[in-house]
Structure 1
Amino acid sequence: MADLFPGDRRSLTEHSVGSMRRPFDYRDALTGVSTDAIGVRFIAGALQRGETLDDSAIERPSQAEQRISDALQAAGGAKC
């Protein structure tokens, strides 16, 4: 609104417009879930082969779980 009315210093809430949010993009969320699932699959394969994992690989499944939970919540689902 400030771009449309640069001299107007009133807030959007004074005009009952409320907060403006970008629509949720399910494709972005599914791309993130897919990327996390692939990473976890590779880590599981490395563990199955008996490979030693570095700290970042060990932390990756927990990070994936949190991102997937966040995406679900953002999509209107329940928090896990």
Structure 2
Amino acid sequence: MQRLPDTSLTAALASGGREHFGWGVDRHMKADIFDALNQNTRATGNFKKPPKFEPWPRPKPGRNKTGEPKQGRRASVADIYKRVTARR
């Protein structure tokens, strides 16, 4: 998987699923900056009771049925092709 953009569907499927599609380094950095600005506003604001800011929604890391992170072998090109071409 060399030379593929980090926002490609192949990279997304290797990262954990279709919900990772379009989430490249730039998008993760923008979400981190959004969260940092909210935390800075909360920390430096003159509030009697600081508001609760929701973090930017991000894709969840891959999980198996027990709720633990996925373990096992890496996804092969054949496995990724099966996921891309699967009908839903």
User: Same-fold call, TM > 0.5?
Assistant: no
> Which of structures 1 and 2 has the bigger CA Rg?
1
The structure whose residues are more often helix, as a share, is: 1
TM-score (norm 2): 0.36
TM-score (norm 1): 0.38
